[in-house]
Amino acid sequence: MVKTRLKIIPLGGLGEIGKNMMAVEYGEDIIVIDSGLMFPEEDMLGIDLVIPDISYLLENKSKIRGIVITHAHEDHIGALPYVLPQLDVPVYCSKLAKGLISIKLRERKAELQSKLNVVPPGSQFTLGRFGIEFFPVCHSIPDAMGIILQTPVGTIVHTGDFKIDYTPVNGAPANISRLAQLGAQGVLLLFSDSTYAELPGYTPSERVVGEALDQIMANTPGRFIVTTFASLISRVQQIIDAAAKHQRRVFIVGRSMMDTSKIAQELGYLKAPEGVLARIDELHNMPHEKVVIITTGSQGEPTSGLVRIANRDHRHVSIIRGDTVVISASPIPGNESLVNRTIDSLCKQGAQVFYDKVARVHVHGHASQEELKLVLSLVKPKYFVPVHGEYRHLSFHAQIARQVGVQEENIFVLEDGDILELGPDSGRVTGKVASSNVYVDGLSVGDVGGIVLRNRQMLSRDGIVVVIIAVNKQTGKLVGRPDIVSRGFVDTNEAKDMLEESCNLVVKIMDHGGKHTAEWGFADNKVRTALSNFYYDKTKRRPMILPVMVKV
């Protein structure tokens, strides 16, 4: 009889979209699944990236046998350049993931090439007490994998990010037969992707988009400019195929699109017939009806190819009346207005623009409700933990699991940091590890915390007023007139009189302060409160007030 219980510890990706990371622990062995980043939310001002808190892993460093990667999207691999130098453990992943991870590590100067191990789907390997096998799934990047973990307590299946696509553009369909076989043998626990658990029905096949792109290209009299995610290689493949069919040549523009296409070609994931791909310097000689331009900017990123084109500051391409632009992506929540501005600006210059709201130019890469039911029905897990998604997604997925017959008490809607302990017959949450957001801002990881962010928020709303008060260190009396400098608060010319008046107020306070005036706390409290009230009265704004005392 097994005494030791399995520990499941999500470190990111539950209750949020991004920074997916999870530890699975048995006795003296820990396997980490994925190590992703999250892009900052609106209130994380100035933050570049968010990564998981790995304190628990650092405390248990000697137990970690490796990091297993499901696929090469940023929200699954993006934290590796920050995490690997600290953990120094081997990584196991697919061929494409190795290629893309290497680029990331190089960029961040965290190269550990030798430790990236490519594992082909279907082959099995062992890490400590765990047997591991990758199985192919379909997702919006090639070589996406689910994971089968054989543990002493039972079999765990992790879907990774997936959809069910019976007619994928590259790679094999998801190996659902393998899932059925495992289900028949008995599965202890299923982790399954909840990102689109809100959506009824089935997610359409990637091939649907190919048909739409082909049709638009067939009816396009001028140039065909298209943007998508650089890693959505099947989409790039379909564009190249359509271009070849319609005798157009393809120009790839934008750094990440060029980099990713290059590595995808080298590794055999992207194929272009002879003579279809062209160099950018051939562009100006081409008849418009012979041109396809594939570029970055599907999220309206300010420095991307498409946005530069839309703003007329791209070196090689500017919009010509008669151009057709296709945005073959949907905006990630938070990017809608950037994308909309780009579309507006393209329309204004006379382009015809196709985007997800008005044409079938994108399908997403995650399973909808019926696909989730299919997987649950094949795997028939005893325990179920929905992963990847905000709380409502997890909770919809839990509801779906109940509908297809998983026992209510065996479904665990976890939060990041929860420790779920599982035995063969029962499971429960027994504790919590550190799991807060770790902010990357410039060179620093983790130094920006609550106070810095709160200050940035305050500064962003109503700016700052700095009051410099010089006092005589013996007498405590004012030396000269205080200096008031503001930024982001008011138009300093128009508000000159008000700022002067507030300066008088400071003089008055200092003159009446008696022996306390030379004390730091005095200026800090009295002056701050008085000015805060004064400015609020006059403007209904609350700038940050920063009194500085100079003793001379």
The residues annotated as belonging to the active site are: 193, 366
- The 25-54 contact track toward its own copies, x by CB under 8 A, reads ----------------xx--xx--------
CB of 521 vs its own copies, minimal distance in Å: 15
Of the candidate spans 3-11, 212-220, 331-339, 404-412, the one that interacts with its own copies by CB under 8 A turns out to be 331-339
Q: For residues 483-522, which are near its own copies according to CB under 8 A?
A: 483, 485, 487-491, 494-495
Closest approach, Cβ 548 to its own copies, in A, equals: 5
Q: Which is nearer to its own copies, 117 or 492 (CB)?
A: 492
Radius of gyration of the chain (CA): 29
Tell the smallest beta-carbon distance from residue 388 to its own copies (Å).
Answer: 14
343 binds its own copies, rule: CB under 8 A? yes
- Find the shortest distance in angstroms from Cβ 454 to its own copies: 8
DSSP 39: P
User: Applying CB under 8 A, what is the total number of residues that bind its own copies?
Assistant: 70
Q: How far is CA 149 from CA 62, 85, 133, 187, 463, in A?
A: 20, 26, 7, 10, 53
> In whole angstroms, how far apart are CA 199 and each of 11, 16, 75, 165?
26, 17, 21, 16
Cβ atoms of residues 471 and 517 within 8 Å? yes
Choice from 26, 224, 383, 396 touching its own copies (CB under 8 A): 396
Give the separation between CA 465 and CA 490, rounded to whole angstroms. 10
| Residue 58 lies near its own copies (rule: CB under 8 A) | no
Question: What is the number of other CB atoms lying within 10 angstroms of the CB of residue 495?
Answer: 17
- Segment contacting its own copies by CB under 8 A, of 106-114, 311-319, 371-379, 477-485: 477-485
Q: How far is the CB of 451 from its own copies (least distance, A)?
A: 7
Q: Which of residues 189-208 bind its own copies (CB under 8 A)?
A: 198-200
Provide the pairing of β-strand 544-551 with 483-487.
unpaired
- Quick check: 540 binds its own copies (CB under 8 A)? yes
Least spacing, CB of residue 366 vs its own copies, in Å: 14
Q: Can you tell me which of 174, 448, 478, 509 binds its own copies, judged by CB under 8 A?
A: 448
Tally Cβ neighbours within 10 Å of residue 525. Answer: 13
Tell me which residue has tokens 């940035």. Answer: 456
User: How far is Cα 385 from Cα 376, in angstroms, rounded to an integer?
Assistant: 11
Q: Which of 268, 273, 431, 449 binds its own copies (CB under 8 A)?
A: 449
Q: Which residues contact 287 (CB under 8 A, 6 or more apart)?
A: none
Contact 148, 182 (CB under 8 A): yes
Q: What does DSSP assign to residue 358?
A: T
Which residues are CB-contacts of 462 (< 8 A; sequence separation ≥ 6)? 488, 489, 541, 542, 543, 544
Looking at the Cβ atoms of 263 and 445, the one nearer to its own copies is 445
Q: Does 524 bind its own copies (CB under 8 A)?
A: no
Both structure tokens of 139:
């997702």
**By the rule CB under 8 A, 447 interacts with its own copies:** yes
- 3-state class of 214 per DSSP? helix
Contact residues for its own copies, defined by CB under 8 A: 15, 41-42, 45-46, 198-200, 333-334, 336-337, 340, 343-345, 347-348, 353, 357-358, 390-392, 395-396, 441-444, 447-449, 451-453, 455-464, 466, 468, 470, 479-480, 483, 485, 487-491, 494-495, 538-541, 544, 546, 548, 550-552
